[in-house]
Amino acid sequence: MFLENTKKAGSIEVICGSMFSGKTEELIRRLKRAKFANQKVEIYKPAIDVRYSDDQVVSHDSHSIPSTPIDSPASMLLLSSDVEVVGIDEAQFFDETIVEVVQKLADRGIRVIIAGLDMDFAGKPFGPMPALMAVAEDVQKVHAICVKCGSPANHSHRLAKSDQLVLLGEKDAYEPLCRHCFNAAEAK
């Protein structure tokens, strides 16, 4: 007799790209589909990200979903009991412990969906994102449109004059650029 395995396999999915590429929009879409399928979903974001809302994940085009702001990735382990899907927005703002946390969640049989910037304003790998991409079963890189030439954009060019790694901002502080236009802007 064939016995079906009732234990669900966990997984890690990463949605990455530049600012204005639709990362959060795709995260919200996947989470809403899971909710529609009656799956228990928990959504987290860094407490420092208060650009649009204190307690919602909000995309640049104003789509939103309720979330829990947290300071430490370890909080997810405590708050995610009895869930099937965990969503994490702006993962680049968390420290490296997020990698171990999401692996533990996936090992528990939870589907973990992560969105974050893969590169910082200087075009360097951003925080824990490279390690998250390495341990993920699925990585989707999304692109914005270069505001200078219309090509696919993969850089978040900072308009504001600051060398701080984390500088929260929107269209007033950043613009999406392709490799060519980013290199030209950095050469100025």
| pLDDT, tens digit, 9 for 90 and up, residues 5-27 | 556 789 999 999 999 999 989 99
From the list 100, 98, 17, the residue with the least C-alpha distance to 59 is: 17
The encoded tokens of residue 31 equal: 């989470």
Query: Phi first, then psi: what are they for 60, rounded to 5°?
Result: -60, -25
| Torsion angle, alpha carbons of 22, 117, 160, 164, to 10 | 160
Q: Which of 13, 26, 42, 90 is catalytic?
A: 90
Q: How far is CA 42 from the centre of its chain?
A: 14
What span, in angstroms and rounded, lies between the C-alpha atoms of 125 and 172? 23
The structure's pTM equals 0.86
Centroid of chain to Cα 60: 13
User: What integer is the mean pLDDT of 91-118?
Assistant: 96
The Cα 1–Cα 98 span in angstroms is 42
Domain boundaries of the chain, sorted by first residue: 11-142
Query: At 179, phi and psi to the nearest 5?
Result: -55, -50
> Superfamily for 11-142?
P-loop containing nucleotide triphosphate hydrolases (3.40.50.300)
175 or 53, which is more confident: 175
pLDDT, one tens digit per residue, over 145-158 is: 999 999 999 999 98
pLDDT tens, residue by residue, 32-72: 999 999 999 999 988 876 555 556 555 556 566 677 888 99
DSSP run (H or E) holding 134: helix 129-135
Question: What gap in Å lies between CA 15 and CA 57, rounded to an integer?
Answer: 15
Query: Coil, helix or strand for 105?
Result: helix
User: CA dihedral in degrees (148, 150, 151, 155; nearest 10)?
Assistant: 50
Whether 90 sits among the annotated catalytic residues: the reply is yes
